């Protein structure tokens, strides 16, 4: 404990998985892990035999406000001690080992963590030391391994990077955000009638200015213009702006026609 | 360019999206971004107006071997210059802004990037400066925004953390790894006949030692034992070990019975 009062309100906790850092080396990384945990809605941190002891001021500096996670983190001598009150333990492990063990992707593990925690069982995720990763005895404490699918030619992850991927998957496993939407803020998506009003306005003005004077080509040209404006969602506000653009361009042309006659070619 | 020869072989590149760091501040972060890109199979890096100039030695130190990404990265004066040869541009943006723009999740964006790059169109993903993020003019250069679903009470991501999430989604969008599997290495999953052989061996020995001598309870007890061993996949090697355990325990009991008689209670 450092006795600090600071740090962000990290929002409700519930039965979220415990992150266990096994023999972490750098305090900077422990802080960055706390920040990554808060990003993904993980709040319980345990340290097993941190190399340089605990607490360490440096960790709070890199936590960017995730102080409460560090303030309430506990220190344990062994992995077995750290997970004694857990029901399921997952061990992150980038490399295949010569053991018989269930292996999950990060996404598969996140889905399972959601199911298991919903049954009021407590889960922990082990992350190994920066240099060597978890050893065989650590992994023997786990129910299953988690191996993120990543570029096999370059799959060494920084500790906080490994935690953010797992925390992000934990968060998105319950997230209902629509994969693609048009953010409209103060306006709304225009309906087809509103779009048709604009297209009629446009075509009327194009007829008036002579842009569509080639009558055999006129149907094809108007269709192409329609195709362009029909391509995606347009907002009611954007249609009003487009109405204004057409009106002003047409007016400007008329004024220019009267005030500043264009030189004959 | 630093003239280094080092760095990992980062594997084939293909038409993968370009990462554009807009006005990045810290060389350490640029290096960490290169590492995160290599993790997720992104290899093209562009910098727009890096605060402290380019190249900077510090970046290579934090890249952990992703040197080639830094060696071949290019520097541009404006976002418009950096994306002039691109066909689609995505802007990462954690906060809602008062603009009308398509907004994608990281996963939605990754799926779209896979589709668009498969059509031989070139895509860029913009990441803003550490402190302030992308400004409104930057975002006006983009087709769509990418907003990661994360804890809204704590959603400020470190730059390299934002890049690893996007790179991880890019990688997993084409990844076929089975979400959960039993890693068996040198052995294989036992079939039901092999399991039945073991269960018969066990029950025979339990009969012989008297564990099942209560005949009315015997059927229920053997079923409970069967339920336990049927719970999940077991390997052929594990069954051989279990056979050996039962044999040795039974033999030990017989030897002990002969050599070291247990004291009567």
Searching chain B, which residue's CA lies closest to the CA of residue A100?
B184
ipTM score above 0.95: no
User: Contact A122/A18 with Cβ under 8 angstroms?
Assistant: yes
- Which of A108, A155, A164 is facing B180, going by the closest CB pair? A108
Q: Which residues of B touch A16 (CB under 8 A)?
A: none
Confirm or reject contact between A128 and chain B (CB < 8 A). Answer: no
Torsions phi, psi of B159, nearest 5? -55, -50
Q: Is B240 on the interface with A (CB under 8 A)?
A: no
SS3 state of residue A160: helix
Q: How do the pLDDT tens digits run along chain B, 265 residues long?
A: 333 446 777 765 789 999 999 999 999 999 999 999 999 999 999 999 999 999 999 999 999 999 999 999 999 999 999 999 999 999 998 776 678 899 999 999 999 999 999 999 999 999 999 888 899 899 999 999 999 999 999 988 899 999 999 999 999 999 999 999 999 988 999 999 999 999 999 999 999 999 999 999 999 999 999 999 998 899 999 999 999 999 999 987 777 766 554 455 4
Burial A177-195 (b: 16+ CB within 10 A, else e): beeeeebbeeeeebeeebb
Write the CA distances from B149 to A30, A170, B92, B101, B155, integer angstroms: 23, 11, 12, 17, 9
Cis bond leading into B174, ω under 30°?
A: no
Tell me the three-class secondary structure of chain B, residue by residue. CCCCCCCCCCCCCCCCCEEEEECCCCHHHHHHHHHHHHHHCCCEEEEECCCCCCCCHHHHHHCCCCHHHHHCCEEECCHHHHCCCCCEEEEECCCCCCCCEEEECHHHHHHHHHHHHHCCCCEEEEECCCCCCCCHHHHHCCCEEECCCCCCCCCCCCHHHHHHHHHHHHHHCCCCCCCEEEECCCCCECCHHHHHHHHHHHHHHHHHHCCCCCCCCHHHHHHHHHHHHCCCCCEHHHHHHHHHHHHHHHHHHHHHHHHCCCCCC
What is the predicted pLDDT for the residue at B3? 36
Measured in angstroms, the CA of B97 and the nearest CA of chain A are apart by 8
Chain B window 141-180: which residues touch A at a Cβ cutoff of 8 Å?
144-145, 147-158, 160-161, 164-165, 168, 171-172, 175, 177-180
Q: How close does chain B come to A154, measured CA to CA in Å?
A: 5
Given its phi and psi angles, is residue A23 left (phi above 0), alpha (psi -120 to 50 degrees) or beta?
left
Note the CATH number of domain A18-172: 3.40.1280.10
Query: Residue A94: its pLDDT value, please?
Result: 74
The pLDDT tens digits along chain A (265 residues) read: 333 446 777 765 789 999 999 999 999 999 999 999 999 999 999 999 999 999 999 999 999 999 999 999 999 999 999 999 999 999 998 776 678 899 999 999 999 999 999 999 999 999 999 888 899 899 999 999 999 999 999 988 899 999 999 999 999 999 999 999 999 988 999 999 999 999 999 999 999 999 999 999 999 999 999 999 998 899 999 999 999 999 999 987 777 766 554 555 4
Neighboring chain B residues of A153 at a CB cutoff of 8 Å = 8-11, 38
pLDDT value of position B50: 97
Residue entry with tokens 């247990």: B262
Which residues in A lie closer than 8 A to residue B157 (C-beta atoms)? 39, 164
B154–A65: do the CB atoms touch at under 8 Å? Answer: yes
Chain A residues near residue B99 by CB distance under 8 angstroms: 183, 185
* Pick from B32, B64, B102: CB nearest A182: B102
Which residues does chain B have within 8 Å of residue A184's beta carbon, measured at their own beta carbons? 100
Residue-level pLDDT at B24 = 97
Q: State the Cα–Cα distance between residues A146 and A93, nearest whole angstrom.
A: 6
A103/B11 Cβ within 8 A: no
Q: Within an 8 Å CB–CB cutoff, is residue A99 touching chain B?
A: yes
């Amino acid at each position: 404990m450092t006795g600090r009062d600071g740090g962000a309100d990290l929002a409700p906790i519930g039965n979220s998985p415990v992150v266990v850092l096994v023999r972490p080396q750098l305090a900077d990384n422990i802080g960055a892990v706390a920040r990554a945990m808060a990003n993904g809605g993980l709040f319980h941190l345990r340290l097993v035999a941190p190399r340089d002891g605990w607490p360490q001021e440096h960790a709070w500096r890199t936590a960017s406000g995730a102080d409460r996670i560090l303030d309430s983190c506990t220190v344990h001598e062994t992995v077995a001690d750290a997970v004694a009150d857990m029901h399921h333990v997952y061990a992150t492990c980038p490399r295949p080992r010569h053991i018989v063990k269930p292996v999950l992707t990060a996404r598969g593990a996140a889905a399972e963590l959601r199911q298991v925690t919903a049954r009021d069982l407590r889960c922990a995720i082990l992350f190994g030391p920066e240099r060597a990763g978890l050893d065989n005895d650590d992994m023997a404490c786990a129910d299953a391994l988690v191996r993120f699918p990543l570029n096999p030619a370059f799959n060494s992850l920084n500790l906080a990077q490994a935690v953010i991927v797992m925390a992000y998957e934990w968060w998105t496993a319950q997230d209902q955000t629509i994969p693609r939407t048009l953010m409209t803020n103060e306006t709304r998506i225009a309906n087809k009638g509103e779009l048709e009003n604009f297209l009629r306005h446009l075509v009327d003005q194009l007829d008036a200015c002579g842009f569509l004077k080639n009558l055999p080509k006129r149907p094809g040209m108007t269709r192409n213009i329609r195709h362009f404006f029909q391509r995606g969602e347009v907002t009611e506000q954007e249609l009003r702006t487009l109405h204004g653009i057409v009106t002003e361009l047409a007016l400007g042309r008329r004024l220019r026609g009267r005030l500043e006659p264009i030189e004959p070619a």
